[in-house]
Amino acid sequence: MSLLDKDPVKRVDKILRAFDPNMSVIVLDNSARTALEAASSLGCEVGAIVKSLLFKTENQFTLFLVAGDKKASLNKIKKTLKIKNALMATADEVKNITGYTIGGVSPVGHLNKIDIFIDNSLERFNFLYAAAGHPNCIFKINFTNLQKITNGKIEEIIE
């Protein structure tokens, strides 16, 4: 069975192709579980890797898309959402809410509706690479289309 036949990867691929018929999932020979691994596999800057970070907020979950060379700021997240408390979702929560395991969490194709915020530092790259449902699967996209396909709100959310 090819990685492209796995349900989470097929979910991402279907959304990509509906958005732009020229887009598709890319299967890597090596793991892209971390931003560093992904950048090494792709031969790109670590910052061009989109980290999908799920946070548990007071009554919901929110996904934050952050450059691979940056760190999400918990204070900025709380300020952006106008809440007192937020923490990283557990591995089980990530799987249950998004339908993806950590290392393969895509910005699109979640099992549940999730608000998405995109850090504005990603805008500095011509192309970005995001997980596509499996640690060895990614897709290439530009900042404008990442915002369009996710309907994400652009904010400054890094330290």
What is the rounded average pLDDT of the residues 1-30? 94
Specify if 159 maps to a domain. Answer: no
**What is the rounded CA–CA span in Å between residue 15 and residue 8?**
11
Specify if 33 maps to a domain. Answer: yes
Residue entry with tokens 């971390």: 34
Residue 33 pLDDT > 90, yes or no? no
Tens of pLDDT, residues 48-84:
999 999 999 877 999 999 999 999 999 999 999 999 9
Contacts of 73 (CB under 8 A, 6+ apart): 157, 158, 159
Specify if 158 maps to a domain. Answer: no
Q: Does an H or E element contain 108, and which?
A: none
Tally the C-alpha atoms within 13 A of residue 13's C-alpha that lie toward its C-beta: 14
Specify if 121 maps to a domain. Answer: yes
Cβ atoms of residues 54 and 62 within 8 Å: yes
pTM: 0.95
Cβ atoms of residues 125 and 140 within 8 Å: no
% the chain with pLDDT above 90: 87
**What is the rounded CA–CA span in Å between residue 128 and residue 139?**
8
**What is the rounded CA–CA span in Å between residue 149 and residue 111?**
16
Specify if 105 maps to a domain. Answer: yes
How many domains does the structure of the chain reveal? 1
Give the tokens for residue 51.
């980290």
Tens of pLDDT, residues 67-126:
999 999 999 999 999 999 999 999 999 999 999 999 999 999 999 999 999 999 999 999
CATH number of the structural domain spanning residue 49 = 3.90.960.10
Residue 59's pLDDT is 79
Specify if 104 maps to a domain. Answer: yes
Specify if 39 maps to a domain. Answer: yes
Give the structural domain span for 50.
3-153
**What is the rounded CA–CA span in Å between residue 67 and residue 133?**
18
Specify if 140 maps to a domain. Answer: yes
